[in-house]
Amino acid sequence: MNEEVRQAGPTAGRGEGGRKRADRDDHANRTDQAGRADRTDQATGPAAKEADRPHDVVLFGATGFVGALTAEYLAANAPAGCRWALAGRDPAKLQRLRDRLTALHPAAADVPLLQADASDPAAVRELAAATRVLATTVGPYVLYGGEIVAACAASGTDYVDLTGEPEFVDRTYVLHDARARETGARLVHACGFDSVPADLGAYFTVAQLPRDVPLRVDGFMRSNALFSGGTLASALTAMGRAPQTLAAARERRLHEHRLPGRRVRGPVGVPRFSRETGTWALPLPSLDPRIVTRSAAALDRYGPDFRYRHYASVKHLPFALCGTAAVGATAALAQLPPARQWLMDLWEPGRGPDAERRARSWFTVRFVGEGGGRRVLTEVSGGDPGYGETAKMLAESALCLAFDALPQRAGQLTTAVAMGDSLLDRLQKAGIRFRVASAR
């Protein structure tokens, strides 16, 4: 790390965001001391971490497409007194980003700029040790995320990311879960559109159903959004690493504890027409169902026998067939390195849909939950999922870990397990809708 990083700690500026919603400031002020006390009292983790670290939240990868959107959200919404910083490998880009933020929110002029490269272990360790929460947008995570999450686990720093890569999540569990439990670090993956709507949506749905009975939940996802170059690169990298992904999953299963007296399943469904949603349902083998079932395995509220299935929801059959064919063709091409690189070059990292296109984007995830003689239809919905809402989800996850009174848990956790009701409350206040559409 350069000299600026070493000097940023003792003289870190304090953001003055949070003007848009007074209730967000009130909520942060109410929970700040409680959250800090909760972390200090934990049996695991450093007792005085809050006192000896110069930053509450560091955003790493801040100059990327979604990183810059997350920085804009923090500049507008971080509570008064939140000590946050921007980090990346290019000081000039960081300066230009801070200048842009300052034009919109003058208090951002005091936000520290920290230089670090994801491939430099020493720099990443220093960065992790300087903050209570590190939020990273640097992907593909399987290529660039290993040193960052290792540094957080070792230093007891809470960690959030946007990964949708099962291989990375499984390898993190095998390599770093035990160490994170020792230091008190909370390693929370998939804090964006992958996989917050699915995870907290299922969590919200389960809360509407009876306790201590077998539960069945199906999720149906729809959106009209476009993706950025960085998202494409991560998806293609994951598709091209099928053998490594399977190997990581097998190794994880060897380390995970079995559930005595409980059963949790996430089977891949079959294509079908869903009468509940009026759409064609196509199995969606993303990271989302794995996250949901891991939440279910960790929380007794999901009942003694829980099953979750995850679908893409398409209105018209021809679009469903074309979409399936397109995904299959892309996955096949991703197995060939030259073809994979060609696809990545079509939409380079750092590029993404413009503000006008994002303003027209939306998502909905509908859930059908059944158990104990009750049946509910719930819905999670919001605006542009891949960028605007993802930035919101990542930022609120980081702020939630930094300031809210949360369960005393550590290790690799899901959003539902680590933050649950607190994050649900934050996202609802931030404009993401969770509602019960019908119940009987």
Comparing 237 with 313, which gets the higher pLDDT?
Answer: 313
Q: What pLDDT score was predicted for residue 24?
A: 38
Please determine, for residue 430, whether its predicted confidence score (pLDDT) is greater than 50: yes
Q: What pLDDT score was predicted for residue 285?
A: 82
Query: Are the CB atoms for 132 and 158 separated by under 8 Å?
Result: yes
Please determine, for residue 231, whether its predicted confidence score (pLDDT) is greater than 70: no
Average pLDDT over residues 120-138: 97
**Least confident residue range of 25-34, 65-74, 391-400:** 25-34
> By percentage, how much of the chain surpasses pLDDT 70?
75
Q: What pLDDT score was predicted for residue 345?
A: 59
Q: What pLDDT score was predicted for residue 179?
A: 98
Q: What pLDDT score was predicted for residue 46?
A: 36
State how beta strands 272-274 and 215-223 pair. unpaired
Q: Please state, in angstroms and rounded to a whole number, the distance separating the CA atoms of residues 387 and 193.
A: 8
Q: What pLDDT score was predicted for residue 406?
A: 97
Give 11's contacts (C-beta < 8 A, 6+ positions apart): 112
Q: Please state, in angstroms and rounded to a whole number, the distance separating the CA atoms of residues 267 and 51.
A: 46
Query: Are the CB atoms for 115 and 88 separated by under 8 Å?
Result: yes
- The CATH class that applies to domain 3-192+388-429 reads alpha beta
Query: Are the CB atoms for 58 and 158 separated by under 8 Å?
Result: no
* Consecutive H or E run containing 412: strand 411-413
180 pLDDT tier (thresholds 50, 70, 90):
very high
Q: What pLDDT score was predicted for residue 2?
A: 35
Q: Please state, in angstroms and rounded to a whole number, the distance separating the CA atoms of residues 285 and 13.
A: 43
149 pLDDT tier (thresholds 50, 70, 90):
very high
In this predicted model, what pLDDT tens digit does every residue of 15-48 receive, in sequence order? 333 333 334 344 334 333 333 333 333 333 333 4
Q: Please state, in angstroms and rounded to a whole number, the distance separating the CA atoms of residues 366 and 278.
A: 11
Question: Encoding tokens for residue 427?
Answer: 């996202």
Q: Please state, in angstroms and rounded to a whole number, the distance separating the CA atoms of residues 366 and 220.
A: 5
Query: Are the CB atoms for 416 and 296 separated by under 8 Å?
Result: no
196-385+432-439 has CATH 3.30.360 classification: yes
pTM of this prediction? 0.83
Please determine, for residue 174, whether its predicted confidence score (pLDDT) is greater than 80: yes
Please determine, for residue 7, whether its predicted confidence score (pLDDT) is greater than 90: no
As annotated, the residues of the chain forming the CATH 3.30.360 domain(s) are 196-385+432-439
DSSP state letter for 46: -
As annotated, the residues of the chain forming the CATH 3.40.50.720 domain(s) are 3-192+388-429
